Amino acid sequence: MSFELETATADASTLRRVAIDPVSRVEGHGKVTLLLDENDIVQQVRLHIVEFRGFEKFIQGRPYWEVPVMVQRLCGICPVSHHLAASKALDHVVGAPRLTPAADKLRRLMHYGQILQSHALHFFHLSSPDLLFGFESEVGKRNIVGVAAAYPEVAKQGVLLRKFGQEVIRLTAGKRIHGTGAVPGGVNRSLTRAERDGLLADVDQTIAWSRDAVHLVRRLHNADPGLYDEFGSFRSNILSIVGAKGELDFYDGTLRVRDADGQIIVDGVDVQNYQQLIREEVKPWSYMKFPFLTALGPETGWYKVGPLARVQNCDFIPSPLAEAERRVFVDYGKGGLIHAPLAYHWARMIEMLHAAETIKDFLNDDDISGTDLMVSGPHRREGVGVIEAPRGTLLHHYQVNDDDLVAMCNLIVSTTHNNQPMNEAVRRVAKRYLSGRKLTEGLLNHIEVAIRAFDPCLSCATHALGKMPLHVTLLDAEGREIDRRCTSGDGGY
């Protein structure tokens, strides 16, 4: 991480600008800017997403059957989530809203492998250095190499947990990254008995290590509750999908929203009607959109998604070990929602345990070796696919024309839902830990710790083409300006 200190040029006052650029140990590129007055009191904090992807635009005009493979290129960390969300949306286009048992379970197995490997990667590789060594510890030690030296067994378990999840993905999707296993209407492969036996040989150890990870995070909370309960904490609504019985379900369900007190305010919303529930706002200083609940408006309608929301939004987790850990987590909240960002890690490890347990159940189900893999029916021109990605609720929405080409694409990714919460967290942390103090790398790392708690995927979240000013300057070979064009935020010149 590097940072710079300079006089703000956008304001005639004496405010100074501090930039954390880039934010480290996250997927994608982003920065944080802070404006401080002459007494080093923080006046403004913003998280900026500075890269642009544009998938919503350039996917238009492509045949719909290419989409589940194309959209994976948004990200190398969570390609499975986009692969499945797109496939689910296009199931409706090909007349297959319900899949065969084999196809449904194989997709779920693929997805739970993704949940497991992504949660392991984030906690052990990206976040554990902060949690195990301290936010202001030696920067050269605060990384996965340092964890491996000081806590070799923890590091080993993190590597092997992710390896197991990646192997599940390889066998169901064809490759560990950017596979092709899901197609509109079903899947194109099943598991052999030998492949199932190979995974079953390691699944019990995976479950045990996942449970150990839950207990590790719980110990960290119990050892320093003042930090873990208060760091960057703020109240907000929460949103996720839940299963038909209110259970935690990463793959399918209806939308549920609770308010900051934990009361259900919206429930049972068909994901095909998500636009009635959610709207999106754009702001001039970020490529990432700001979603909010339509009924509440942008000021009070923003919400959290992801593990912290899911574990508290569901009524139960349908696997015994994870459900027992969920109850401990809920009891820790003493009857109210837990809003502290650092609690994301605890909830994330509970979900990893649930994923490991569920993978074992699927591996013992003969349907995943079935051969009835595809469904088709009357084609439609539109479909919405929603899935709980590792980072939170992921929506893919497509419209297809009569030539089977994509006419419209809208993506609301997990990190986009969490945009306002992340900004709120960094504001709270900056004012609590940085205001009035001489800034150091360790203090600025507090800001990054708050962002990492959400496990953001900044690459996935940049989709506001045409909503922000764009400046293009053409230079000749000597570096002299030849021409310049600028677009306004509404797309005009």
Q: What is the pLDDT at residue 8?
A: 41
pLDDT at 263 over 70: yes
pLDDT at 82 over 80: yes
pLDDT digits (tens, 9 = 90+) for 130-186: 999 999 999 999 999 999 999 999 999 999 999 999 999 999 999 888 899 999 999
> What's the one-letter identity of residue 159?
V
Question: Looking at per-residue confidence, does 357 or 15 come out higher?
Answer: 357
Q: What is the pLDDT at residue 482?
A: 66
Beta bridge partners of 470: 487
What number of other Cβ atoms are within 10 A of residue 326's Cβ? Answer: 23
Q: How confident is the model at residue 484 (pLDDT cuts 50, 70, 90)?
A: low
Average model confidence (pLDDT) for the chain? Answer: 89
Q: What is the pLDDT at residue 492?
A: 41
pLDDT at 486 over 60: no
Report, as an integer, the average pLDDT of 216-240.
97
CA–CA distances in Å: residue 399 to residues 379, 386, 404, 418: 12, 15, 9, 26
Q: What is the pLDDT at residue 474?
A: 64
Report residue 242: phi and psi, to 5°: -130, 155
Q: What is the pLDDT at residue 17?
A: 86
pLDDT at 2 over 90: no
CB-CB contact of 22 with 30 (8 Å): yes
CB-CB contact of 419 with 198 (8 Å): no
**Residues in CB range of 470: below 8 A, 6 or more apart:** 486, 487
pLDDT at 468 over 60: no
C-alpha 75/C-alpha 78 separation (Å) is: 6
Terminal CA-to-CA distance of the chain, rounded, Å? 36
What is the per-residue DSSP string for 28-82?
S-EEEEEEE-TT--EEEEEEEE-----HHHHTTTSBGGGHHHHGGGG-SSSHHHH
Q: How confident is the model at residue 439 (pLDDT cuts 50, 70, 90)?
A: confident
Rounded to 5°, the CA angle 299-304-309 comes to: 145
Write out the two tokens for 294: 């339509």
CA–CA distances in Å: residue 295 to residues 18, 70, 182, 310: 36, 34, 35, 21
- Strand 30-36, strand 481-487: pairing: unpaired
Task: Tell which phi-psi region holds residue 197, choosing left (phi > 0), alpha (psi between -120 and 50) or beta.
Answer: alpha
pLDDT at 465 over 70: no
C-alpha 29/C-alpha 51 separation (Å) is: 6
Report, as an integer, the average pLDDT of 78-104.
96
Rounded to 5°, the CA angle 102-105-110 comes to: 120
Q: What is the pLDDT at residue 20?
A: 83
Q: What is the pTM of this model?
A: 0.89
C-alpha 45/C-alpha 431 separation (Å) is: 9
Q: How confident is the model at residue 40 (pLDDT cuts 50, 70, 90)?
A: confident
Q: What is the pLDDT at residue 189?
A: 94
pLDDT at 470 over 60: no
pLDDT at 286 over 80: no
For CA atoms 415, 417, 420, 424, the dihedral sign is negative
**Residues in CB range of 41: below 8 A, 6 or more apart:** 435, 436
Bond from prior residue into 298 cis (ω within 30 degrees of 0): no
Q: What is the pLDDT at residue 271?
A: 96
pLDDT at 466 over 90: no
Rounded to 5°, the CA angle 166-80-406 comes to: 160
pLDDT at 77 over 80: no
- Please give the share of the chain, as a percent, with pLDDT higher than 70: 88
